[in-house]
Amino acid sequence: MFTGIITDIGEIRELEQRGDLRARIGTSYDPVTIDLGASIASDGVCLTVIALGDDWYDVEISAETVSKTNLGDWVVGKRVNLERALKVGDELGGHIVSGHVDGVAEVAAMTDEGDSTRVTLRAPVELAKFVAPKGSVALNGTSLTVNEVDGCDFGINFIPHTKDMTTWGDVAVGQRINLEIDTLARYVARLRDMS
């Protein structure tokens, strides 16, 4: 379980296809505090640590995960949003995020508004119904509030702090973004469909 509050920006150092995709991620997390088998959300995808070094950890990524996320777009040198798993007693500054990506949205437009940047994203049709104005979404692991919705398109506003502390300062039109819908929205839709 995660909160969508990014605590480090990692860097992809190595990628190797070995049946599953294996990635080495550079981090400023102290490796002494990371257990083998720990979950770390990497661009919003809950991945299991399988090896550790002085300033890196390795993960294996299944073909299923690659097919449902943007992790297949990773290249050596890419910066990624990182968040360690939530511990009992931690502050819940964002919203409950599972690290189970529902699909991939696309950056459709970007506009600077003062020091902030308004980004319009296009959700897959099957997920768009779960995105609501003033609702929460996790995008590349970042807990964000939706400003407006128009069909499959929805808008997010990034303040300078968010752009500086995450990879959102690197975003470009056409980029594929991991989208996790709000868990509450998923259950409300399921209950509505059953009635």
DSSP 18-82: ESEEEEEEE-SS-GGG--TT-EEEETTEEEEEEEE-SSEEEEEE-HHHHHHSSGGG--TT-EEEE
Euclidean distance between CA atoms 105 and 122, whole angstroms: 5
Do 108 and 68 share a structural domain? no
- pLDDT score recorded for residue 18: 85
Euclidean distance between CA atoms 23 and 92, whole angstroms: 29
Average pLDDT of the chain to the nearest whole number = 93
10-19, 46-55, 79-88, 144-153: least confident range: 79-88
Identify the CATH number of the domain in which residue 124 sits: 2.40.30.20
Euclidean distance between CA atoms 118 and 155, whole angstroms: 7
- pLDDT score recorded for residue 184: 76
The domain boundary residue, chosen from 53, 84, 115: 84
| Terminal Cα-to-Cα distance of the chain (whole angstroms) | 29
When pLDDT is cut at 50, 70 and 90, the band that residue 92 belongs to is: confident
Using one digit for the tens of pLDDT, what is the confidence trace for 96-126?
A: 888 999 999 999 999 999 999 999 999 999 9
When pLDDT is cut at 50, 70 and 90, the band that residue 138 belongs to is: very high
Structural domain including 58 reads 8-84
Q: What is the DSSP letter of 85?
A: P
Question: What number of other Cβ atoms are within 10 A of residue 73's Cβ?
Answer: 12
Q: Are 36 and 51 in contact (CB under 8 A)?
A: yes
Residue 164 burial (CB < 10 Å; 0-12/13-18/19+)? Answer: exposed
Using one digit for the tens of pLDDT, what is the confidence trace for 2-51?
A: 999 999 999 999 999 988 999 999 999 999 999 999 999 999 999 999 99
Do 124 and 60 share a structural domain? no
The answer to the question of residue 39 being in a domain is yes
153-158 β-sheet, strand order = 142-145, 136-139, 176-181, 103-113, 116-122, 153-158, 148-150
Euclidean distance between CA atoms 161 and 150, whole angstroms: 27
- pLDDT score recorded for residue 88: 72
Do 113 and 71 share a structural domain? no
Do 80 and 107 share a structural domain? no
